[in-house]
Structure 1
Amino acid sequence: KRCPTLLLTSLVTMATQLTQEVTLTRRAGESVSISCGGTQPCAYSWIYWYQKKDTETFKAVLRFDTSNSEVYKGYGHPQQDEFSAENNQNGCELKLNKVQQEHAASYYCSCWVFISHFASF
Protein backbone atom coordinates (compact mmCIF):
# COMPACT_ATOMS: atom_id res chain seq x y z
CA LYS A 1 0.00 0.00 0.00
CA ARG A 2 1.41 3.36 -1.02
CA CYS A 3 1.47 6.17 1.55
CA PRO A 4 0.35 9.61 0.38
CA THR A 5 2.93 12.39 0.39
CA LEU A 6 1.92 15.34 2.56
CA LEU A 7 3.00 18.93 2.06
CA LEU A 8 3.59 21.06 5.11
CA THR A 9 4.64 24.65 4.58
CA SER A 10 5.99 27.08 7.09
CA LEU A 11 5.97 30.76 6.28
CA VAL A 12 7.79 33.79 7.68
CA THR A 13 5.99 35.91 10.26
CA MET A 14 7.37 39.34 9.40
CA ALA A 15 5.93 41.33 12.31
CA THR A 16 8.18 39.62 14.82
CA GLN A 17 11.11 39.00 12.42
CA LEU A 18 10.96 35.25 12.96
CA THR A 19 12.28 32.94 10.24
CA GLN A 20 10.92 29.57 9.21
CA GLU A 21 11.66 26.80 6.77
CA VAL A 22 9.63 27.21 3.61
CA THR A 23 8.45 23.75 2.53
CA LEU A 24 8.64 20.30 4.08
CA THR A 25 7.32 17.11 2.50
CA ARG A 26 6.71 13.95 4.51
CA ARG A 27 4.97 10.65 3.94
CA ALA A 28 2.16 9.58 6.25
CA GLY A 29 3.60 8.00 9.39
CA GLU A 30 6.91 9.90 9.27
CA SER A 31 7.95 12.52 11.81
CA VAL A 32 8.55 16.20 11.12
CA SER A 33 10.00 19.19 12.96
CA ILE A 34 9.21 22.71 11.79
CA SER A 35 11.71 25.29 12.91
CA CYS A 36 10.95 28.83 14.06
CA GLY A 37 14.23 30.72 14.17
CA GLY A 38 15.21 34.20 15.21
CA THR A 39 13.42 33.89 18.52
CA GLN A 40 16.01 35.81 20.54
CA PRO A 41 13.61 38.78 20.90
CA CYS A 42 11.04 36.27 22.18
CA ALA A 43 13.14 35.26 25.19
CA TYR A 44 11.01 35.03 28.33
CA SER A 45 7.83 35.12 26.30
CA TRP A 46 5.45 32.81 24.45
CA ILE A 47 5.77 31.42 20.94
CA TYR A 48 2.45 30.58 19.30
CA TRP A 49 2.03 28.01 16.54
CA TYR A 50 -0.92 28.23 14.12
CA GLN A 51 -2.21 25.90 11.42
CA LYS A 52 -3.79 27.28 8.24
CA LYS A 53 -5.55 25.10 5.69
CA ASP A 54 -6.65 26.53 2.32
CA THR A 55 -10.37 26.62 3.06
CA GLU A 56 -10.19 27.36 6.80
CA THR A 57 -9.23 30.15 9.15
CA PHE A 58 -6.12 30.09 11.32
CA LYS A 59 -6.28 27.57 14.16
CA ALA A 60 -4.07 27.91 17.21
CA VAL A 61 -2.21 24.64 17.76
CA LEU A 62 -0.22 25.40 20.89
CA ARG A 63 1.69 27.99 22.89
CA PHE A 64 5.29 27.41 23.94
CA ASP A 65 6.69 29.20 26.99
CA THR A 66 10.34 30.02 26.23
CA SER A 67 11.16 30.68 29.88
CA ASN A 68 10.34 27.18 31.16
CA SER A 69 9.63 25.08 28.02
CA GLU A 70 6.02 24.42 29.03
CA VAL A 71 3.53 23.69 26.26
CA TYR A 72 -0.09 24.86 26.48
CA LYS A 73 -2.59 23.07 24.20
CA GLY A 74 -5.92 24.40 25.46
CA TYR A 75 -7.10 25.92 22.17
CA GLY A 76 -9.37 23.04 21.15
CA HIS A 77 -7.37 22.03 18.06
CA PRO A 78 -8.71 18.62 16.91
CA GLN A 79 -5.22 17.06 16.71
CA GLN A 80 -3.69 18.95 19.66
CA ASP A 81 -2.32 15.82 21.32
CA GLU A 82 -0.31 14.94 18.22
CA PHE A 83 1.77 18.15 18.38
CA SER A 84 4.62 19.07 20.70
CA ALA A 85 7.22 21.84 20.84
CA GLU A 86 10.70 22.32 22.20
CA ASN A 87 13.64 24.71 22.20
CA ASN A 88 16.52 24.12 19.83
CA GLN A 89 19.80 25.98 19.27
CA ASN A 90 18.19 28.38 16.77
CA GLY A 91 14.78 28.92 18.37
CA CYS A 92 11.70 26.75 18.72
CA GLU A 93 10.46 23.65 16.88
CA LEU A 94 6.94 22.38 16.31
CA LYS A 95 7.04 18.58 16.22
CA LEU A 96 4.78 15.86 14.88
CA ASN A 97 5.85 12.30 15.63
CA LYS A 98 3.47 10.73 13.11
CA VAL A 99 2.30 12.87 10.19
CA GLN A 100 -1.24 12.15 9.02
CA GLN A 101 -3.25 13.40 6.03
CA GLU A 102 -5.13 15.93 8.18
CA HIS A 103 -1.83 17.63 9.13
CA ALA A 104 -1.21 18.88 5.57
CA ALA A 105 -1.34 22.67 5.99
CA SER A 106 0.72 25.82 6.40
CA TYR A 107 2.14 26.46 9.88
CA TYR A 108 2.98 29.86 11.30
CA CYS A 109 4.87 30.91 14.38
CA SER A 110 4.63 34.23 16.18
CA CYS A 111 5.56 35.54 19.58
CA TRP A 112 4.44 38.03 22.17
CA VAL A 113 7.24 39.93 23.80
CA PHE A 114 6.63 41.12 27.35
CA ILE A 115 7.91 44.63 27.90
CA SER A 116 7.69 46.45 31.20
CA HIS A 117 7.33 50.22 31.09
CA PHE A 118 8.48 52.24 34.05
CA ALA A 119 7.66 55.89 34.59
CA SER A 120 9.44 58.12 37.01
CA PHE A 121 8.06 61.40 38.25
Structure 2
Amino acid sequence: MLFLPAAALCCLCSVGESVSFSCGGTEQCSSSYVLWYQKKEKETFQFIFIFDKDNGQVLSGYDKDDFSSLNKGKDWELEIKKVKPDHSATYYCSCWVSAPHSEK
Protein backbone atom coordinates (compact mmCIF):
# COMPACT_ATOMS: atom_id res chain seq x y z
CA MET A 1 0.00 0.00 0.00
CA LEU A 2 1.27 3.45 -0.89
CA PHE A 3 0.56 6.38 1.46
CA LEU A 4 0.33 9.63 -0.45
CA PRO A 5 0.78 13.25 0.67
CA ALA A 6 -1.06 14.31 3.81
CA ALA A 7 -2.97 17.43 4.75
CA ALA A 8 -3.28 18.83 8.24
CA LEU A 9 -6.42 20.60 9.36
CA CYS A 10 -6.47 23.12 12.17
CA CYS A 11 -10.12 23.62 12.93
CA LEU A 12 -9.86 26.90 14.80
CA CYS A 13 -9.85 28.83 11.53
CA SER A 14 -12.41 26.71 9.63
CA VAL A 15 -15.23 25.74 12.04
CA GLY A 16 -18.55 25.64 10.21
CA GLU A 17 -16.94 25.92 6.78
CA SER A 18 -16.45 23.32 4.05
CA VAL A 19 -12.87 22.23 3.30
CA SER A 20 -11.36 19.77 0.84
CA PHE A 21 -8.01 18.03 0.40
CA SER A 22 -6.49 16.68 -2.78
CA CYS A 23 -4.66 13.38 -2.98
CA GLY A 24 -1.46 13.87 -4.97
CA GLY A 25 0.33 11.00 -6.66
CA THR A 26 -2.66 8.84 -7.58
CA GLU A 27 -1.12 8.24 -11.02
CA GLN A 28 1.11 5.72 -9.19
CA CYS A 29 -1.92 3.66 -8.12
CA SER A 30 -2.37 0.32 -9.85
CA SER A 31 -6.12 0.39 -9.19
CA SER A 32 -8.65 3.18 -9.26
CA TYR A 33 -9.43 2.85 -5.53
CA VAL A 34 -8.21 5.51 -3.11
CA LEU A 35 -8.57 5.23 0.67
CA TRP A 36 -8.70 8.17 3.08
CA TYR A 37 -7.62 8.06 6.73
CA GLN A 38 -7.73 10.49 9.63
CA LYS A 39 -4.90 10.53 12.19
CA LYS A 40 -5.33 12.43 15.42
CA GLU A 41 -2.43 13.02 17.76
CA LYS A 42 -1.71 10.00 20.00
CA GLU A 43 -4.39 7.91 18.25
CA THR A 44 -4.31 5.23 15.57
CA PHE A 45 -5.36 5.80 11.96
CA GLN A 46 -9.13 6.01 11.50
CA PHE A 47 -10.49 4.79 8.15
CA ILE A 48 -12.79 7.39 6.56
CA PHE A 49 -13.76 5.82 3.23
CA ILE A 50 -12.63 4.16 0.03
CA PHE A 51 -13.69 5.63 -3.28
CA ASP A 52 -13.24 5.03 -6.97
CA LYS A 53 -11.07 7.82 -8.37
CA ASP A 54 -12.47 7.21 -11.87
CA ASN A 55 -15.99 8.32 -10.89
CA GLY A 56 -15.84 9.53 -7.26
CA GLN A 57 -18.24 6.86 -6.01
CA VAL A 58 -17.80 6.15 -2.29
CA LEU A 59 -17.69 2.36 -1.94
CA SER A 60 -17.57 2.03 1.83
CA GLY A 61 -16.83 4.20 4.79
CA TYR A 62 -18.27 5.92 7.80
CA ASP A 63 -19.96 9.17 8.70
CA LYS A 64 -21.21 10.20 5.29
CA ASP A 65 -22.80 13.25 6.93
CA ASP A 66 -19.30 14.65 7.58
CA PHE A 67 -17.17 13.37 4.68
CA SER A 68 -17.62 12.96 0.94
CA SER A 69 -15.64 12.87 -2.30
CA LEU A 70 -15.64 16.11 -4.27
CA ASN A 71 -15.04 16.42 -8.02
CA LYS A 72 -12.32 18.94 -8.91
CA GLY A 73 -12.05 18.71 -12.69
CA LYS A 74 -10.30 15.42 -13.43
CA ASP A 75 -9.44 14.84 -9.76
CA TRP A 76 -11.44 13.85 -6.70
CA GLU A 77 -10.83 15.21 -3.21
CA LEU A 78 -11.80 14.45 0.36
CA GLU A 79 -14.40 16.98 1.49
CA ILE A 80 -15.38 17.79 5.06
CA LYS A 81 -18.83 19.28 4.59
CA LYS A 82 -18.99 21.31 7.80
CA VAL A 83 -15.82 21.44 9.89
CA LYS A 84 -16.17 20.68 13.61
CA PRO A 85 -13.43 20.97 16.26
CA ASP A 86 -13.35 17.14 16.31
CA HIS A 87 -12.08 17.13 12.70
CA SER A 88 -8.74 18.63 13.74
CA ALA A 89 -6.29 15.97 12.49
CA THR A 90 -3.86 14.99 9.75
CA TYR A 91 -5.46 13.34 6.73
CA TYR A 92 -3.77 10.70 4.58
CA CYS A 93 -4.75 9.02 1.37
CA SER A 94 -3.46 5.70 0.14
CA CYS A 95 -3.86 3.29 -2.74
CA TRP A 96 -2.65 -0.08 -3.92
CA VAL A 97 0.49 -0.28 -6.03
CA SER A 98 1.41 -3.52 -7.76
CA ALA A 99 4.89 -4.85 -7.13
CA PRO A 100 6.94 -5.41 -10.27
CA HIS A 101 6.72 -8.96 -11.54
CA SER A 102 9.98 -10.84 -11.95
CA GLU A 103 10.47 -13.39 -14.69
CA LYS A 104 12.15 -16.68 -13.68
* TM-score computed with the length of structure 1 as normaliser: 0.64
Amino acid at match of 1:64: F
The structure with higher relative contact order (CA 8 Å, sep 6+) is 2
Alpha-carbon contact 1:39-1:91 (below 8 Å) kept:
no
Of the two, which has the highest radius of gyration? 1
Q: Does 1:16 align with 2:2?
A: yes
Instruction: Return the alpha-carbon distance in structure 1 between the equivalents of residues 42 and 5 of structure 2.
Output: 25
Deviations 1:35-62 (CA, angstroms, capped at 9, x unpaired): 1112112264211100111132111000
Aligned residue in 2 for 1:10: none
Quote how far apart the aligned CAs of 1:112 are.
1.2
Aligned residue in 2 for 1:8: none
4+ residue runs over 3 A deviation: 15-20, 22-26, 86-92
Instruction: Return the alpha-carbon distance in structure 1 between the equivalents of residues 93 and 60 of structure 2.
Output: 15
C-alpha RMSD over aligned residues:
2.8
**Residues 82 and 23 of structure 1, relative CA distance in 2, 3 Å threshold:** closer
Instruction: Return the alpha-carbon distance in structure 2 between the equivalents of residues 81 and 73 of structure 1.
Output: 13
Alpha-carbon contact 1:43-1:66 (below 8 Å) kept:
no
* TM-score computed with the length of structure 2 as normaliser: 0.73
SS in 2 for 1:73: strand
Identity of aligned residues (%): 45
Instruction: Return the alpha-carbon distance in structure 2 between the equivalents of residues 80 and 57 of structure 1.
Output: 20
Residue correspondences, number: 99
Quote how far apart the aligned CAs of 1:113 are.
3.5
Quote how far apart the aligned CAs of 1:98 are.
0.6
Instruction: Return the alpha-carbon distance in structure 1 between the equivalents of residues 74 and 9 of structure 2.
Output: 18
